[in-house]
A = this chain, B = another copy of it.
Amino acid sequence: MTAFSAQLPATVPVTVGDRCCFGGTDLVVIGGPCSVESAAMVLDTALSVAASGARMLRGGAFKPRTSPHTFQGMGDPALDLLAQAGERAGLPVVTEVTDPRHVDRVAGVADMLQVGARNMQNYALLAEVGRSGKPVLLKRGLAATLKEFLLAAEHIRVAGNDAVVLCERGIRTFETASRFTLDVTAVPVLKAESHLPVIVDPSHAGGRAPLVAPLARAAIAAGADGLIVEVHPEPATAQSDAEQSLTFAAFAELMVQVERVALAVGRTIGAAPLAVGASV
């Protein structure tokens, strides 16, 4: 971590399904609700984010929640709803897995497995997603150094899985004006120190809808390979993360802004979806 290579190592792309490739010239934006709340809401969201240029659908089935007394997700039924919505919208899906005993079941439905910030050092889970054969979206722990983050990815790799995408989602600092502090510096450092694609979650980092677009633009400008963004048909009624979810219109506007910045740094977004592998 001490020596910063002027020469970046080439990122080795990670492919999900046949339309999604993290780490190439084309950026991948993942959109979707924090939690799957009903068939209708996840389908509506999937169709809307796809129309705006998202390449993957996110949605929580098993929600790790700080308090045991808040909504914990719909569980298994949500997995099927998510997969159906993804199929209808033509988007592969990513969802969080929180228990090593659920990995097989989730991997049977999802195209990519997410390990959340709370579980970045849950080594039993890392080993199991490593054995799953599915690509993994690994989020940074909120007090993890970048060195520890890369070592967590190494736990997945030694279990047999090289298809890991890193996700910076804000770290915990003294500042309270945002939910967490987006460590945008993590993007160039991780790109320089590893071969793994790096995306950013501006929704959790900022914690408030008006901050999502500026943080998303900053992430792409710093060299991120994509974004994961929370979108909800009616954010005010969301059962989790209401404050940070974007409306469909705000997500569409975000995509326009992000594309402009992407072009400014030599990247594309939503270009040539069917031939994405070729653009790498």
Query: Which residues from B are CB-within-8-Å of A208?
Result: 4
Mark contacts of A73-87 with chain B using CB atoms, 8 A cut-off: 1 yes-contact digit, 0 otherwise: 000000000000000
Are B67 and A151 in contact (CB-based, < 8 A)?
Answer: yes
- Stoichiometry (number of copies): 4
A244 to B237, CA, bound (A): 40
User: Is the beta-carbon distance between B178 and A185 smaller than 8 angstroms?
Assistant: yes
Q: Would you call B98 and A101 a contact (CB within 8 A)?
A: no
Chain B contacts for A142, CB-based, 8 A: 143
A51 contacts partner chain B, Cβ-Cβ < 8 Å: no
- Which residues of B lie under 8 Å from residue A123 when comparing CB positions? 64-65, 68, 98, 118
Cα(A182)–Cα(B222), bound, Å = 12
Q: Which residues of B contact A100 (CB under 8 A)?
A: 99-101, 124
Contact residues of A between 128 and 172, Cβ < 8 Å to B:
141-143, 145-148, 151, 154-155, 158, 171-172
Task: Check: A105 CB closer than 8 A to any chain B CB.
Answer: no
Q: Flag whether A9 is at the interface (Cβ < 8 A).
A: no
Which of chain B's residues have a CB closer than 8 A to the CB of A172? 143, 174
Our pick among B122, B177, B217, B260 for the contact of A189 (Cβ within 8 Å) is: B177
Q: Is the CB of B1 within 8 A of A177?
A: yes
Q: At the interface, yes or no: A275 with Cβ under 8 Å from chain B? A: no
Minimum Cβ distance to chain B for residue A208 (Å):
5
Please list the 9 inter-chain residue pairs (A to B) with the smallest Cβ-Cβ separation, ordered nearest first: A143-B143, A221-B221, A99-B124, A118-B121, A217-B221, A218-B218, A260-B264, A264-B264, A188-B214
